[in-house]
Amino acid sequence: MSFEELLEKYRNNVEAYVKYKVSFASDRDDLLQEIYLQAYEKFDSLKSEEAFKAWILSIARNKVNDYYRDKAKDMEIPLEEYVPTVSIHRTVDEMVRETLKSLSVTDREILYLFHWDELPLKEISEKLKLPEGTIKSRLHYARKHFKERYPKEEFMNKKLPEIMPEYTISERNDRPFETLWEELMGWFLIPKEGNRISWAIYDFPERKKSETYEMRCKGKAEIHGLEGVTVEAVESYDKKQIKRHFIAQLTDTHCRYLAERHEEDGVMKYYTFLDGDAFLNNWGFGPENIGNETHLKQKGLIQRNGSTVTTQDKKETMDVVGRYDVTINGRTYDTVCLMDVCTYDEYTVSEQYIDRNGRTVLWRRFNKKNQRWLFDGFESADESKLKGNEKLIVNGEECVHWYDCITDYIL
């Protein structure tokens, strides 16, 4: 196919990308002309027609990056050293943009290259044709200026407590409400650009924090033709850290994982939704990995009466089981309880209390008694220590409370 034919085939993709990234119509038109011109001039370097879409979109991405670098406005950059974790009620975008607009062009440029493009200092030095020492100095002062001008109250990080706060759960007689639940299954982050969250695991009966997770959405991503966002997750436990990267996708009806990568014994491991059980057993949810439903409402798949839980045909399933007031950290939340019976693992039962904002207030983990406890690296699970913990009877089997999770949403 000719350049004109390929361009006509994928023109809508390019225009949609530029339209999403650039607010001003006049600037978009100029950018599109630059993109098409560069693509035409370099068309001979394209090795195959199949690669045209990815190739021209990479040109578009570079042109948009150049545009923002030149204009130094409307940028959404993750300045993790200075911008704290925030809840769904507030993203960092507005605060960051306003602060950046107050900085000099030089400060904005160096912050953009280092934090948004994630370029190493050596590459920035080559790009700006300045000594690396000068780049280090500029970055230091740009960060200092950003911190000085960023709203002071935003630097009060919400630190997760070392001991699980006391809480009460009271069942209500009211009908469970419907809510939009867009969090990643098991990880509590809503996968939209600019969002962050911190959460922790608390082992019972000690109620001590055993693991913490810092998560942020870094930007858009595409894998095997499916679009999503890149999520960075840093797990901390026993003075160790594991950094994972996910690609997650949020649609109008579902939220799901598309890929995961992490380093293990010095080897970087990659898993995608095309890798069968190697991916699905850990990150897949729903039929054919469709994901977890975002529109929560009670379906009647699980019956709960106090601590007794029964599922239809005694099969693994997930459903809203009732409405509850959860009082924790000095505040009472009106929630619905989403129960997961063995959909993740045949030994696992969980309660997830979700408020009207679609945010998890409290997540509680139970394991079937007399089944395996040591798996997935959770070597701290000693069944003998859990005998006094709360019990559920799920389809006739006793399940023992193991640990809880809370996020900085409730702090």
Region 160-183 average pLDDT: 94
Q: Could you tell me the pLDDT band of residue 273, with boundaries at 50, 70 and 90?
A: confident
Q: How far apart are CA 59 and CA 45, in angstroms?
A: 13
310 & 404 share domain: yes
Q: Could you tell me the pLDDT band of residue 346, with boundaries at 50, 70 and 90?
A: confident
From first CA to last CA, the distance across the chain in angstroms is 58
- Give the structural domain span for 396: 165-179+294-411
Among candidate residues 37, 71, 105, the one where a domain is terminated: 71
Region 36-65 average pLDDT: 87
332 & 407 share domain: yes
Kindly state the tokens that stand for 117. Answer: 């493009």
Residue 16 has pLDDT above 50, yes or no: yes
Residue 246 lies in a domain: yes
Q: How far apart are CA 209 and CA 408, in angstroms?
A: 14
Residue 14 has pLDDT above 80, yes or no: yes
CATH number where 137 lies? 1.10.10.10
Residue 21 has pLDDT above 50, yes or no: yes
Region 233-244 average pLDDT: 88
Instruction: Give the pLDDT confidence score for residue 89 in this predicted structure.
Output: 36
Among candidate residues 291, 307, 342, the one where a domain is terminated: 291
Residue 87 lies in a domain: no
Q: How far apart are CA 102 and CA 122, in angstroms?
A: 27
Instruction: Give the pLDDT confidence score for residue 28 in this predicted structure.
Output: 80
Instruction: Give the pLDDT confidence score for residue 50 in this predicted structure.
Output: 84
Residue 130 has pLDDT above 70, yes or no: yes
CA distances from 398 to 310, 344, 359, 395 (A): 12, 18, 29, 9
Residue 391 has pLDDT above 90, yes or no: yes
302 & 374 share domain: yes
Q: ω before 78 within 30° of 0 (cis)? A: no
The answer to whether the predicted template modeling score (pTM) of the entire model surpasses 0.85 is no
61 & 103 share domain: no
Q: Could you tell me the pLDDT band of residue 353, with boundaries at 50, 70 and 90?
A: very high
Residue 73 has pLDDT above 50, yes or no: no
Residue 160 lies in a domain: no
Residue 242 lies in a domain: yes
Region 283-295 average pLDDT: 85
Tell me the average pLDDT of the chain. Answer: 83
398 & 410 share domain: yes
8 & 146 share domain: no
110 & 236 share domain: no
254 & 267 share domain: yes
191 & 148 share domain: no
Residue 318 lies in a domain: yes
Name the more confident of 118 and 250: 250
Residue 222 lies in a domain: yes
Torsion, Cα of 143, 149, 153, 159 (10° steps): 0
281 & 303 share domain: no
User: What single-letter amino acid sits at 78?
Assistant: P
**Number of structural domains in the chain:** 4
CATH number where 51 lies? 1.10.1740.10
Region 14-36 average pLDDT: 78
Instruction: Give the pLDDT confidence score for residue 77 in this predicted structure.
Output: 44
Residue 330 lies in a domain: yes
Name the more confident of 8 and 156: 8
User: Of all residues in the chain, what percent carry a pLDDT higher than 70?
Assistant: 84
CA distances from 115 to 139, 190, 219, 286, 308 (A): 10, 22, 12, 36, 51
Residue 83 lies in a domain: no
As beta bridge partners, residue 5 has none
Q: Could you tell me the pLDDT band of residue 308, with boundaries at 50, 70 and 90?
A: very high
Kindly state the tokens that stand for 64. Answer: 């948009």
Region 125-129 average pLDDT: 88
Among candidate residues 259, 291, 323, the one where a domain is terminated: 291
265 & 407 share domain: no
Residue 229 has pLDDT above 50, yes or no: yes
The answer for residues whose C-beta is within 8 angstroms of residue 18's C-beta and 6 or more apart is 28, 31, 32, 35, 60, 64
339 & 404 share domain: yes
Residue 187 has pLDDT above 80, yes or no: yes
Name the more confident of 48 and 318: 318
Strands (E), 166-275: 167-171, 179-180, 196-203, 208-223, 226-237, 240-250, 254-264, 267-272
Instruction: Give the pLDDT confidence score for residue 411 in this predicted structure.
Output: 86
